[in-house]
Structure 1
């Protein structure tokens, strides 16, 4: 049965989202000023009629109208309905609305739209918080909407939206003022072009230099802004933003500037290459992964010599990897080797190497989708692929399995852009998105999507689904092993009986999947799954294979999501409701992961056409690394 969603407010944003959402839900709406024709939804004559029986009521009005919109439906909603207010308003107003709803027994959530609705419709990213966030997020994500739950504190979503508005709208006001003054000075075209050049160069390094420079030179910069204000006034313009800027800068010596992220807060891939016998370092910010990126031509061609060098660079074998650039964990001891591809179907080749931490071992038995997210930016910056237009497509052949991934990278201004507004679970700050589309990953390692030939097997006395859509994964119900599926990685790793049982299943599954003796390999992975509890499709905890992933790997997530679509699989039994064609949201220890899987057929006859995910990557540094002597 399709959910019922009611809209209060059918302006441009409400109309666009209601129209799109009507393909996945029964949608009703009311707007006192409504005179148009509904597109897929039903416009009602009053608010009480619109919300009758609705599972979710969405208030999408101006902030001034939000209290009246909520008041108009109090006492008319279903007992278990959630009221979601999407007005752009202050955290204080959101808390007042929440208190009003609570006083009438109505579950409340607040959300904000983080991109232009007219361009994206129901795909517009939404940040959401409040006591009703789990139920509201579960319903909307099941319909394919892009929702990021922030927790139960009312006002958190609104605060993030308004902080973004200070930057974006404040910057816009500064641009308007500077262009007006420039026009009066006969420098309008120059000022416009200079704005474009300056803004396209903005990245983390530039912002840090601006902030650091302001601390050191605040007095000089105040004088500079006062001179600019005098020029504006002599041109007949009111320098409101310029004067305000001078006042903010004047406060810096006394109040300082909030410190940027400390070193221990860095998230990231470390991307490295070698040149002239020395290693060059790059970094992409990702909380749970680090990986070194090399050009293939800068590494020894002989695999044995190459692996020996990588062990010495990363600091293995050593549980802490103190004498190298590894982080003492499988997630922080990864390497990408990149080169131009000789094949017409790809631009570059990507070989992933897992450098073991405590053993002198380098494995190429699997690929890594998270490290894959940094391959295209690395290839563009190393000249393997030219930047083309605002978005550059890079076709990547995955040598570990011979599949092909296509990455789309922001290259506005002719270079890789790392700053952006895309949030990834586990990463506190946004970055530019890297969209990854996969083809040919079905059976990439084992030769078939269902390596055992069955949707469901009994392995070591436990029901399991073995699947390979880019990563061989054994899916097991957490409850079958005495776990809940919601534990932290630390809790799971501390359970010796559980880890031994997982390894027993993995070793037997490896043989059944055609992988042979997997005692010294990193595949297959084992995913313990359970029903979702935060609005997603399924919850998963992944052994990789002996440590537990702090989130979930990209291709591991794609394989688990594919298992959800297999009728009769262990994953399908645990999964919540899924919307046809919509994203599958996998809940993991630090948030969630969305994957889109396009398939045909059902059960054992299911075939994967393509799959896609969105990740982020950010460069941290470019430097030199010295391996320890042999």
Structure 2
């Protein structure tokens, strides 16, 4: 196979895909790419230190036939396509490390939730090493859709990679030939979505404290009758408990995006603080053992709100 990326008609079975980031999203992509027949290798920063997360990654790799490597550079070297899916704070480091191992003309699809400015800097790093950077904006939660999650592509190479991604099972659409546009779309959406998560947790936990949650939910249902607020609240609590750290980092990038537009990001900064606060409590075991299969998965948001209230009520000395 030549150094350049194969043509769109190349069957998935002939492709070598590198994943930089082997968390929830990376593992879902690995499963679906392996099911399509592609050869998959992966790297994650957490593999460098002993932890339950690292153990989970190694077990998953064995189960699905994914080769784990010791660096992003090593993932990139043999790859026909590299997909970056790390936390927002690692975007530039991941792009630079990936770029160091790229063969000429290899596509790099960056799915990180980072600001338009960070995406442009990542693109510069990849292009400086002869790669072809494609900005990817994942437009909703990955787990329900898996590899077919709605994906906006941005940058001058977006149109060229779209057919290949479709053959691999992705559901891409080209958003813009300019860098930063699809990320701005994602970031502005996240002001609302991640902010709504934080507001629901704050509102309903406070309502639970005062014993008025039923009245609050009834009022929300009257105002927004199309939303099942019980179900939505449970989902918001679950996602923030499980992924608050990643979400808080994303919303800090959202705040930078808002700031770059000339606005003070009061809402985004508050959301980032609430998400990080939840992440701290999750890491402290407030919601149960992190490695447990039921961690943060209560079907009733009241269970998790009561845990928050019990933690808040504990003596601090």
Shared fold by TM > 0.5?
yes
Unaligned runs of 5+ in 1: 203-239, 245-630
Name structure 2 gaps, 5 residues minimum.
1-10, 48-53, 228-265, 271-317
SS at match of 1:127: strand
Question: Which of 164, 169, 187 pairs up with 2:194?
Answer: 169
Q: Give the secondary structure class of the aligned counterpart of 1:57.
A: strand
CA distance in 2, matches of 1:75, 1:90: 22
Match of 1:20 in 2: 32
Displacement, 1:4? 1.8
* Cα 1:195/1:104, change in 2 over 3 Å: same
Query: What is the CA deviation profile of residues 5-38 of structure 1, one whole-angstrom value per residue up to 9, with x for unaligned ones?
Result: 1110101111111111122222211113233231
Q: What is the alpha-carbon distance in structure 1 between the residues aligned to residue 133 and residue 17 of structure 2?
A: 14
The 3 A distance-change label for structure 1 pair 33 and 186 is closer
Deviation readout 1:561-585 (Å, 9 max, x if unpaired): xxxxxxxxxxxxxxxxxxxxxxxxx
Residue number in structure 2 paired with 1:32: 45
Output the CA distance in 2 between the equivalents of 1:93 and 1:6.
21
User: What is the RMSD of the two structures over their aligned residues, measured on CA atoms?
Assistant: 2.2
Higher Rg of the two aligned structures: 1
- State how far apart, in whole Å, the 1-side matches of 2:182 and 2:86 are: 16
Aligned residue number for residue 15 of structure 2 = 3
Distance 1:189 1:58, change over 3 A: same
Quickly say closer, same or farther: Cα 1:50–1:173, change in 2 above 3 A: closer
Please tell me whether residue 182 in structure 1 is matched to residue 207 in structure 2: yes
Q: Is 1:198 the counterpart of 2:223 in the alignment?
A: yes
Q: Structure 1 pair 53/135, CA: closer, same or farther in 2 (3 Å)? A: farther
Task: After TM superposition, give the deviation of residue 182 of structure 1 in Å.
Answer: 3.1
1:579-598 to 2 correspondences below 5 Å: none
Match of 1:120 among 127, 139, 145: 145
CA separation in 2, counterparts of 1:69 and 1:139?
A: 23
| Greater share of residues in helix | 2
Q: Which residue of 2 aligns with 1:66?
A: 91
Give the structure, 1 or 2, with the largest relative contact order (CA under 8 Å, sep 6 or more): 2
Helix, strand or coil: the match of 1:120? helix
1:102 deviates by 2.2
Question: In the alignment, what sits opposite 1:56?
Answer: 81
Q: CA deviation at 1:151?
A: 2.4
Partner of residue 96 from structure 1, selected from 106, 116, 121: 121
Deviation at 1:181, TM superposition (A): 4.3
> How high is the TM-score relative to the length of structure 1?
0.31
Q: Deviations over 1:109-166 (max 9, x none)?
A: 1112222222322122211101221233221111221111112111111111111111
CA contact (8 A) 1:23 1:40 kept: no
Aligned mates of 2:147, 2:166 — CA distance in 1: 11
- Confirm or deny: 8 A CA contact 2:154 2:182 kept in the other structure: yes
Say if 1:56 and 1:136, in contact at 8 Å, map to a contact too: no
Q: Aligned pairs, how many?
A: 205
8 Å contact kept, 2:176–2:182? no
Contact 1:55–1:80 under 8 Å retained in 2: no
CA distance in 2, matches of 1:136, 1:197: 45
Query: Which one of 140, 144, 155 corresponds to residue 180 of structure 2?
Result: 155
Decide whether the 8 Å contact of 2:109 with 2:136 is kept in 1.
Answer: yes
Q: Secondary structure at the match of 1:22?
A: helix
Map residues 306-345 of structure 1 onto 2, 5 A cutoff: none
